[in-house]
Amino acid sequence: MLERRKPIYKPSNGKQVSILFVGIVIIAFFFLGLRLFYLQIIKGDENKKLAENNRIRLRKLIPQRGLIIDRHGTILAGNIPSYRAMIVPEDFEHSPDGFKLIARCLNINVDEIQKRLKSASKDFPFRPVTIKTDLNWKEVAHIEEERSHLPGVQIVVSPKRYYPFGKTCSHVIGYMGMINVHELRKYEYLGYQSGDWLGRSGIEASCEPILRGKVGGRQIEVDAIGRELKTLSEVLPIPGNNVILTIDLPLQKKIEEIFKGKIGAVIAIDPRNGEILSMVSSPSFDPGVFYKKISKKEWMKLVKDPFHPFQNRCIMGQYPPGSLFKVVVAAAALKEALITPSKKVFCPATFILGDQEYRDWKEGGFGDINLKQALIESCDVYFYKLGYRLGIEKIAKYARLFGLGRKTGIDIPGEKSGLVPDKNWKRKRFNEPWYLGETITCSIGQGYLLVTPIQVASLFSAIANGGILYRPHLIKRIERYDGIITKEILPEPLGKVSISKENLDVIRKALIGVVNSPVGTGRRCKMERVLVGGKTGTAQVISIPKNKNEREIPFKLRDHAWFAAFAPAENPELVVVVLVEHGGHGGNVPALVAKDIFDFYFRRKSGEEMQMVMFKGIANDR
Q: Just list the catalytic residues.
A: 323
Q: Provide the 3-class DSSP secondary structure of residue 214.
A: strand
Are 201 and 174 within 8 A, CB to CB?
yes
DSSP label at residue 39: I
Distances (CA, A) of 514 to 137, 545, 618: 61, 26, 44
CA distance 499 to 331: 7
d(CA 547, CA 362): 11
Helix (H) or strand (E) holding 592: helix 589-621
User: Which residues is 243 bridged to in the sheet?
Assistant: 68, 478
The two beta strands, 68-69 and 75-87, are: antiparallel
Output phi, psi for 491, to 5 deg.
Answer: -55, 135
Burial class (CB in 10 A: 0-12, 13-18, 19+), 170: buried
In the chain, the amino acid numbered 107 is N
Cα dist. 109→99, 106, 258 in Å?
Answer: 9, 9, 45
Distance CA 387, CA 437 (A): 10
Count of beta carbons in the 10 Å neighbourhood of residue 325: 29
Strands 75-87 and 153-162: antiparallel
Q: What is the 3-state secondary structure of 463-515?
A: HHHCCEEECCECEEEEECCCCCEEEECCCCEEEECCCCHHHHHHHHHHHHHHH
Is 105:146 a contact under the CB 8 Å cutoff? Answer: yes
Is the CB of residue 443 less than 8 Å from the CB of residue 383? yes
DSSP class per residue in 202-259: HHHHHTHHHHH-B-EEEEEEE-TTS-EEEEEEEE--BPPPEEEES--HHHHHHHHHHT
Query: Who's near 503: CB < 8 A, 6+ residues apart?
Result: 331, 334, 335
Q: Could you tell me how far CA 314 lies from the centroid of its own chain?
A: 11
**Total residue count of the chain as it appears in this document:** 622
The maximal CA–CA distance of the chain, rounded, in angstroms, is 168
Q: Is residue 442 packed enough to be buried (19+ CB in 10 Å), middle (13-18) or exposed (0-12)?
A: buried
Q: Please name every residue paired with 87 in a beta bridge, in sequence order, or none if there are none.
A: 129, 153
3-state SS assignment for residue 37: helix
